[in-house]
Each structure stands twice: as structure tokens, then as C-alpha cells.
């Protein structure tokens, strides 16, 4: 008989709470090094052993993280207890339980789990997953067993593309639609809970204590108000959002679209004031709507207004063959053709990402008359929600991370069709501009901080 040796390793008090939680959704998080990943692995193992035939899915955002954080340690802990198959990335236990390890690098990688059913799902570093990924993954968490309710477990640190939804559900406890507060349980983590690490590696704690203030708040104190790596730091609701007003007929209007079917499709309506200030005055934001229905909605929202042009995702010009049929087109057409046929002429947007984000930054600046060059009508809820949540890419010094960025992408396409707010325009707004555009702030995930924080960030 094979014996599983878990001796010498006892859970600390927070880990014990994590083990005992039977909530529908349990998050264990906050500060670094508290023993969250250890607890997730151990919890999975105990569940797999306790409930024969249980199906568990353990997810991280990327494969290298998954392998280092879980596959390697589980392989060390489980020889003879569970058999690992590399092809399926799955540990199968003698009692028929299985732990599948997976990752969702790209946003729609979650679709690979469509139709699959897991009694338990764990999201490691949940803030690395965007909200739409989390929502989709939750649809796979179901069971037909009578002895077990489906459960989701999350570990998390502040910061990342999923910061906002984790904070909303587990910290701010703001619920919407069918979400119920009693289904969500949060266990705060602190490195000081992890006596094993404190004894073995006291320098680690000193390093956390010596971090620059923002990082220390997030990583040592687990403070969810310290939003690490925000891409558009200058965005302020008070500065950039205005109440809708009736736009004069003579102002130029145009549209920008980030096309999506499984992902949301976002269309923004822009108006340019005579002084060059740009107003985003309406938005359309829906998923799983056929191309011709989007075209119809765009026409309706535009009403009788003259729209000078609509810039749109360049990938709408790729021929999609038979696959296009499923989203309302004819084989051989491209999605752009569907719109053009329905009276919404499109032109491909300039998709230079870093230059485009820099253009957005320029428009977020305050003009000499004290108002920012970009104003967004308060009804554009998704642009207002997602722009401030944009995060730096962890592997690129200048780019933003991909995530729930469909409204920001449409904004970028729209502003790239306009000149940068120029010196002349600024003068029309009442004063002279200092030379040069705004410098993007350093990516805190990579620039400078990396030396100070070492392996903390990656
Ligand atoms: N109860 C325990 N018994 C023995 N070792 C533990 C225990 N809890 C955690 N550890 C060890 O402490 C170290 C840090 O734990 P872990 O990696 O789980 O922390 P974490 O909270 O996930 O950190 P991070 O925030 O960096 O992801 C690891 O080496 C882990 O194996
Ligand atoms: Mg961890």
C-alpha cells in the first residue's frame, strides 16, 4: 500500500480557515508569501483523497507559472499516490479523483473548457485573470454528485488585470445580478502567518518591509487600494467624465469599433469641438451579437447624425470563410463587408499599440483652460470602468496588458484617427503648451522596481 507522507507540515491558522471553508467562492489573499499556493495545492490534494471520483481543475494564467507553482511540487508530493500524464496535464488518483492543471494565456483560452464539468476549480493568482475569464470558468464549476456542492477557490495578491473584480467581490463585497454575498468568503493572508518561511528565510520579510511605499502596501500589507501597475495613472473620473449635453450639429462626429463576438464588441461615438477637444458621447458594448445586428444597432444609435467615418479593428478585413456564417456573414466575405453592406462604411484603424496608448495619454492631459482634452459622457459606462483598470504588460516595458480592454481599444482606434492635441488647438483653449508630449510613467513591473523587488514581481 502507498502512504502519502504529509508529515512535518501543518497548516497555519489562515490556511486552516481556508481548508475549512465550504463557501461557494473562497479567496485567500492579500500579502505575499503567506502560504497561499501551498494551501491551494494541499486543499486540492485533500479533496481529491477525501471524495473518490472528484474532478478538480487548477488554473494559472500561463503554463510556466503553472508548471513551477504546482505541477513540479505536486509531482514531488504524489509519487505512487497519483499518476501524472504530461499530455493531459492531469494527476489521476487511485480512488478515481483527478486534478487537471490548466492555463489560460490568451483571453479566449478559457473556451477550451466549454462543456467540461469540474466539482472544484482553483484560480491561482486570480487577479491575473480578467473578469470575463473568471465568469466563463465559473460556468464549468458544476456537479451532479449528491455528496458535494461545487466550489471555487482563489488565491490572489493586489494588482493585475483582475484586481477590480476580486476587490469588488471579496473586499468591497458589492454584488450584482444573481451574485449573493453569502457565497463569498475572504481569508486575508500575511507573510507573518507563515512561520515556516519566517524561520527559514527572515530576509524575505525584510525585503518586503523595505519595498517602496506603493509596493509595500500591496505586497506586505495586502492593501487592495494600492493599485499596482495602473497604465493610465492620470485618469480621474472627476477630470474626464462629464454629464451628457446636446452636441451642436456642426461638430464633426466619427465612430471607432473594437470588433468581438465571443469577446465584447465595443463601438464608441466621438464628437470634436471647434477647439479640438474630443468628447466620447455614446457607446455600444455587447457580446455574442451577430455582425449585421451590430451594424443595425450602430445605425440606430447614430440616428440621423452625420458620422464622418468609422475606424475599426483591422482584423475585420480578414476573410473568415465558413466561420463567418455563424456570425451573420456569407462565406468569402469579411466581417467589414457585412457592415459596409448594411450602410456602416468602415476603414481599418491604425493599430500601433504603444503609439496609440501614448495618444490616449496625450488626450487625458489637462488643456490650458483646465479641462482635459478628452471628455467622456457619463453614460459610457464600460469605457469609464475599464480604462482605469488597464495594467502594464508584465513582459513589455511600454505596452498595456491584454484583458477587459475592448472599450479602451476602441478609444485608442478613435484617437489614432485624430491628430494629437496640437499646440494650435491648445492656444485656442487659452494658453501655450510646454513642448513635447507627456512621458509615459515607468512600467513598475519592469523598470527600476525590478532590481528592488527581485523575484517578487515575476
Ligand atoms: N504550512 C506550511 N508548511 C510548510 N511549508 C509551508 C507551509 N505554508 C507555506 N509553506 C512554504 O512557504 C513558502 C511560501 O509559501 P507559498 O508559495 O504558498 O506562499 P504564497 O502566499 O503563495 O506566496 P506568493 O504571494 O509569492 O504567491 C513555500 O516554500 C511553501 O512551501
Ligand atoms: Mg503563490
CA-closest candidate to residue 152, choices 118, 178, 115: 118
| Domain-located, residue 421 | yes
Looking at the structure, tell me whether residues 207 and 74 fall in a common domain. Answer: yes
Q: What is the pLDDT of residue 160?
A: 82
| Domain-located, residue 141 | yes
Q: What is the pLDDT of residue 444?
A: 58
Looking at the structure, tell me whether residues 278 and 354 fall in a common domain. Answer: yes
Q: What is the pLDDT of residue 328?
A: 61
| Domain-located, residue 446 | no
Spacing, Cα 126 to ligand 1 middle (Å): 17
Indicate if ligand 1 lies below 6 Å from the C-beta of 458. Answer: no
CB atoms within 10 A of CB 384: 19
Give the list of residues 6+ apart from residue 218 with CB closer than 8 angstroms, or none: 157, 158, 159, 226, 228
Looking at the structure, tell me whether residues 309 and 391 fall in a common domain. Answer: yes
- Rounded to an integer, the average pLDDT of 325-347 is 82
Q: Of 36-50, 56-70, 212-226, which gets the smallest average pLDDT?
A: 212-226
Q: Determine the atom of ligand 1 nearest the C-alpha atom of 34.
A: 21
Looking at the structure, tell me whether residues 244 and 392 fall in a common domain. Answer: yes
Spacing, Cα 33 to ligand 1 middle (Å): 6
Residue 227: pLDDT band by 50, 70, 90 thresholds?
Answer: low
Indicate if ligand 1 lies below 6 Å from the C-beta of 220. Answer: no
pLDDT-above-70 percentage for the chain? 87
Looking at the structure, tell me whether residues 34 and 143 fall in a common domain. Answer: yes
What are 180's three cell numbers? 449573493
List % helix, strand, coil for the chain (3-state, nearest 5). 35, 20, 45
Mutation choice for ligand 1 from 61, 77, 197, 202, CB with most ligand atoms inside 8 A: 197
Looking at the structure, tell me whether residues 371 and 404 fall in a common domain. Answer: yes
Spacing, Cα 132 to ligand 2 middle (Å): 22
Q: With contact defined as beta carbons under 8 Å apart, do 160 and 224 qualify? A: no
Q: Which residues constitute the domain of residue 296?
A: 237-428
| Domain-located, residue 444 | no
Q: Write the CATH number for 193.
A: 3.40.50.300
Spacing, Cα 155 to ligand 2 middle (Å): 7
- Rounded to an integer, the average pLDDT of 24-49 is 95
Indicate if ligand 1 lies below 6 Å from the C-beta of 127. Answer: no
The C-alpha atoms of residue 89 and residue 78 are separated, in whole angstroms, by: 14
The 10s digit of each residue's pLDDT in 353-401 is 999 999 999 999 999 999 999 999 999 999 998 898 888 887 777 888 8
Spacing, Cα 63 to ligand 1 middle (Å): 20
Residue of the CA atom closest to atom 19 of ligand 1: 35
Indicate if ligand 1 lies below 6 Å from the C-beta of 200. Answer: no
| Domain-located, residue 99 | yes
Q: What is the pLDDT of residue 430?
A: 53
Q: What is the pLDDT of residue 330?
A: 64
Q: What is the pLDDT of residue 323?
A: 57
| Domain-located, residue 3 | no
Spacing, Cα 111 to ligand 2 middle (Å): 25
The 10s digit of each residue's pLDDT in 118-141 is 999 999 999 999 888 999 999 999
Q: Of 6-15, 234-243, 304-313, which gets the smallest average pLDDT?
A: 6-15
The C-alpha atoms of residue 138 and residue 151 are separated, in whole angstroms, by: 9
Indicate if ligand 1 lies below 6 Å from the C-beta of 12. Answer: yes
Looking at the structure, tell me whether residues 241 and 339 fall in a common domain. Answer: yes
Place of cell 505512487: 80
Residue 91 bridge partners (DSSP): 84, 99
Output the DSSP codes for 278-335: EEEEEEEEESS--HHHHHHHHHHHHTT-----EEE-GGGGSB-GGGGGGGT--TT-BH
Looking at the structure, tell me whether residues 69 and 106 fall in a common domain. Answer: yes
Residue of the CA atom closest to atom 4 of ligand 1: 9
Q: What is the pLDDT of residue 270?
A: 98
Looking at the structure, tell me whether residues 198 and 242 fall in a common domain. Answer: no
The C-alpha atoms of residue 259 and residue 273 are separated, in whole angstroms, by: 27
Looking at the structure, tell me whether residues 263 and 194 fall in a common domain. Answer: no
CB atoms within 10 A of CB 333: 18
Query: HSE of 77 in the Cβ direction (CA atoms, 13 Å)?
Result: 17
Q: Write the CATH number for 264.
A: 3.30.420.280
Query: HSE of 118 in the Cβ direction (CA atoms, 13 Å)?
Result: 27
**How many structural domains does the chain have?**
2
DSSP strand pairing (120-123 vs 55-60): parallel
Looking at the structure, tell me whether residues 101 and 143 fall in a common domain. Answer: yes
Residue of the CA atom closest to atom 31 of ligand 1: 38
Spacing, Cα 338 to ligand 1 middle (Å): 53
| Domain-located, residue 437 | no
Amino acid at each position: 500500500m502507498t502512504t502519502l507522507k504529509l508529515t512535518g507540515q501543518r497548516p497555519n491558522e489562515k490556511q486552516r480557515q481556508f481548508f475549512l471553508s465550504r463557501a461557494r467562492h473562497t479567496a485567500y489573499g492579500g500579502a505575499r508569501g503567506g502560504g497561499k499556493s501551498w494551501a491551494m495545492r494541499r486543499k486540492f490534494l485533500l479533496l481529491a483523497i477525501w471524495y473518490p471520483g472528484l474532478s478538480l481543475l487548477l488554473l494559472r494564467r500561463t503554463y510556466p507559472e503553472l508548471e513551477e507553482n504546482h505541477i513540479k511540487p505536486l509531482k514531488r508530493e504524489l509519487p505512487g499516490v497519483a499518476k501524472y500524464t504530461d499530455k493531459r496535464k492531469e494527476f489521476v488518483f487511485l480512488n478515481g479523483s483527478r486534478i487537471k492543471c490548466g492555463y489560460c494565456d490568451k483571453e479566449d483560452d478559457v473556451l477550451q473548457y466549454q462543456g467540461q464539468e469540474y466539482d472544484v476549480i482553483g484560480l491561482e493568482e486570480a487577479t491575473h485573470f480578467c473578469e470575463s475569464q473568471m465568469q466563463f470558468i465559473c460556468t464549468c464549476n458544476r456537479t451532479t454528485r449528491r455528496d458535494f456542492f461545487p466550489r471555487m477557490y482563489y488565491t490572489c495578491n493586489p494588482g493585475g488585470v483582475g484586481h477590480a473584480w476580486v476587490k469588488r467581490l471579496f473586499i468591497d463585497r458589492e454584488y450584482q445580478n444573481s451574485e449573493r454575498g453569502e457565497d463569498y468568503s475572504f481569508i486575508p493572508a500575511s507573510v507573518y502567518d507563515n512561520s515556516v518561511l519566517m524561520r527559514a528565510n527572515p530576509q524575505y520579510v525584510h525585503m518586503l518591509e523595505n519595498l517602496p511605499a506603493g509596493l509595500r502596501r500591496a505586497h506586505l500589507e495586502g492593501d487592495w487600494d494600492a493599485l499596482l501597475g495602473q497604465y493610465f495613472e492620470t485618469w480621474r473620473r472627476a477630470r474626464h467624465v462629464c454629464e451628457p449635453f446636446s452636441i451642436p450639429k456642426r461638430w464633426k462626429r466619427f465612430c471607432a469599433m473594437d470588433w468581438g463576438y465571443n469577446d465584447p464588441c465595443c463601438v464608441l461615438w466621438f464628437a470634436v469641438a471647434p477647439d479640438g477637444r474630443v468628447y466620447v458621447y455614446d457607446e455600444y458594448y455587447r457580446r455574442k451579437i451577430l455582425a449585421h445586428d451590430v451594424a443595425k444597432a450602430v445605425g440606430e444609435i447614430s440616428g440621423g447624425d452625420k458620422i464622418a467615418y468609422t475606424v475599426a479593428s483591422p482584423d475585420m478585413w480578414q476573410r473568415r470563410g465558413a466561420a463567418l456564417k455563424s456570425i451573420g456573414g456569407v462565406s468569402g466575405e469579411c466581417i467589414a463587408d457585412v457592415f459596409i453592406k448594411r450602410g456602416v462604411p468602415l476603414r481599418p484603424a491604425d493599430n500601433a499599440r504603444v503609439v496609440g496608448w501614448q495618444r490616449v495619454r496625450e488626450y487625458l492631459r489637462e488643456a490650458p483652460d483646465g479641462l482635459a482634452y478628452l471628455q467622456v459622457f457619463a453614460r459610457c459606462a464600460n469605457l469609464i470602468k475599464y480604462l482605469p483598470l488597464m495594467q502594464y504588460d508584465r513582459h513589455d516595458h511600454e505596452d498595456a496588458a491584454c484583458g477587459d480592454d475592448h472599450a479602451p481599444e476602441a478609444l485608442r482606434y478613435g484617437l489614432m484617427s485624430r491628430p494629437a492635441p496640437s499646440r494650435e488647438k491648445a492656444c485656442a483653449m487659452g494658453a501655450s503648451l510646454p513642448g513635447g508630449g507627456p512621458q509615459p510613467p515607468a512600467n513598475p513591473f519592469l523598470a527600476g522596481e525590478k532590481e528592488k523587488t527581485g523575484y517578487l514581481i515575476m
